[in-house]
Amino acid sequence: MKKGFLLAAAGAALMCSSALAMAQASDGVLTIATIGEPPTLDVMQTPTDIVLTIDQHIFETLYTYDQQWKSVPLLAADMPTISEDGLEYRIPLREGVKFHDGSDFDSKDVVASLKRWTEINSKGKQVAEIIENMSEDGDHAVIIKLKSRYAPLLATLSQASVIIPSETVEDTLTQFIGTGPYALKERKPDQYTQLVRFEDYKSPEGEPSNYAGKREAIAKELHFVPVPDANTRVEGLISGQFDFADSLPVSAYERIEASDKAKPVIFENSGWASLNMNMKEGPLVKKELRQAVQAALNASDMMLAAFSDDRFYTVDGSIFPNGSFWHTEAGVARYGEGDPEAAAKLLEEAGYDGTPIRLMTSRQYEFHYKIGEVAKAYLEASGFKVDLQVVDWATLTTRRADPKEWDIFITHSNFPGDPTTINTITDTYPGWYVSDQKAKAVADYMEATTDEAKQKAWEGIQTVIYEDAPLYKVGNFNALTGLANSVEGYTPTYWPHFWNVTPAK
């Protein structure tokens, strides 16, 4: 081992934990149909849903999200100890955790991994600006010193900031070694990603709660199979080819329900759909044109086209859904049924010259494509010229990184535990939303120390988002997936996970 011997007590605990896991382990395989091929398995580089879905089985973070989307310990042993001035976080680490290569997890790995995260990840780069330094405090704790208060620190440490062995840290990963319940065995692009049970996995304690609590690798293997066509995913599920099929069209609900091999699974308020606009290059650099896009669009028609049945969506201008702590109508403007006259006036004021707006979408998420078709019609009715570009998801995520390649792209996001972790708020996220008033509103949030102060500050951020118009929120949706009848223990989550899941016998 690279880091010495475990204490005898820790070793005994690990053996007991492994024995308990093996008692319930299965030789079965779960075959999971995903929406397409992940562009990478380096989640720090590309934290898209498909990458996060697969990677969460391989890699782990210091903290993760529980059922209320609060950050709770995963590789951390406890919540951090925070200094009175709010600038120093001491994070204790769990002991006895191993990487897939057999080496021991410790503070050196954490510091090396988080430094890489601050250098290459969009949210990590944002956090890097306020980090004074990160250091080891013995083998089982790290200290993060901040230049200023940063309210969402734990939330940002709960996603994509995965911990890898310090020896494998490099700009472009060539080894994919984590601490998760499954290890990468083989990846054949456009065919499958094969994960195998990590027999020496040490689970966190507690009842399962969203991504928190006990994680048991019951299935011997997980096979993630890219199936870009949604109807093919449905057919494969019904025929018994797949144990789970992700992101299915809502029109398939009754057909799956009538199947003798599978059942439909709904995850409510799975997320929200948006049209994200390019503020760095192209015609939409002008705020008036972005506001014209807002004014032109009809949220109800786009969501109806995308989901067919109002059981599967709600139209709400608040970025967070009704019932959420963060739900507010503050600042909502130019949202609703579409106002072509108001949009045309904004076009005239901005001096729109007829340059086509390149609207990029993908059929791998069928609802993205349908939203794009309706958006195109409403934008053209208001005076825009629109070039609708339909590409595969991997191409979209690559192309959106180049500001010369697009003007609007369609995506969807979950509802995070901390509102400032929304992708669009990050300066470096594609769209490159940078403004003085956004910076001030976010700064006010970062200084907040109570839930009430955070809530008020978030109202200010949402108001600024509507004014600056970096995006158009379309609406909230429930996700439809499908599960084989013989599979047990699956609980719907935003990024589907398959620990604690028993495959068919």
pLDDT tens, position by position, 430-439: 999 999 999 9
Banded model confidence at residue 251, pLDDT cuts 50, 70, 90: confident
Burial class (CB in 10 A: 0-12, 13-18, 19+), 41: middle
Burial class (CB in 10 A: 0-12, 13-18, 19+), 31: buried
Q: Report DSSP letters for 403-452, one per residue.
A: TTS-SEEEEEE---SSGGGSGGGSTTSTT----HHHHHHHHHHHH--SHH
What does the pLDDT look like over 260-300, one tens digit per residue? Answer: 999 999 988 889 999 999 999 999 999 999 999 999 999 99
Domains and their CATH numbers in the chain: 27-59+180-261+485-504 (3.40.190.10), 66-166 (3.40.190.10), 269-479 (3.10.105.10)
- Mean pLDDT throughout 438-466? 90
**Three-class DSSP category at 33:** strand
Q: Which residue type does 3 have?
A: K
Whether 364 has a pLDDT exceeding 60, the answer reads: yes
Q: Going edge to edge, which strands form the sheet with 88-92?
A: 81-82, 88-92, 141-146, 131-136
When pLDDT is averaged across residues 156-168 and rounded to a whole number, the result is 95
Predicted confidence band of residue 381 (pLDDT cuts 50, 70, 90): very high
Q: What is the DSSP string of 471-489?
A: EEEEEEEEEEEEEETT-BS
The token pair at 47 is 């934290």
Mean pLDDT of all residues belonging to the chain:
92
Angle between helices 366-381 and 287-296 (to 10 degrees): 100
CA–CA gap between residue 69 and residue 346 (Å, rounded): 39
What is d(CA 495, CA 237) in angstroms, rounded to the nearest whole number?
A: 19
The upper half-sphere exposure of residue 332, i.e. CA atoms within 13 Å in the direction of its Cβ, equals 15
Query: Measuring CA to CA, which residue among 466, 444, 216 is closest to residue 319?
Result: 466
Window from 14-18, 96-100, 356-360 with minimum mean pLDDT:
14-18
User: What are the distances in angstroms from CA 358 to CA 117, 308, 406, 480?
Assistant: 32, 26, 5, 29
Q: Give 341-351 pLDDT, tens digit per residue.
A: 999 999 999 99
Mean pLDDT of 212-216: 98
What is the residue whose two structure tokens read 């994200």? 276
List Cβ neighbours of 207 (8 Å cut-off, separation of 6 or more): 213, 214
What predicted TM-score, i.e. pTM, was given to this entire model?
A: 0.75
Q: Do residues 109 and 177 lie in contact, with contact meaning Cβ atoms separated by under 8 Å?
A: no
DSSP SS3 for 113 = helix
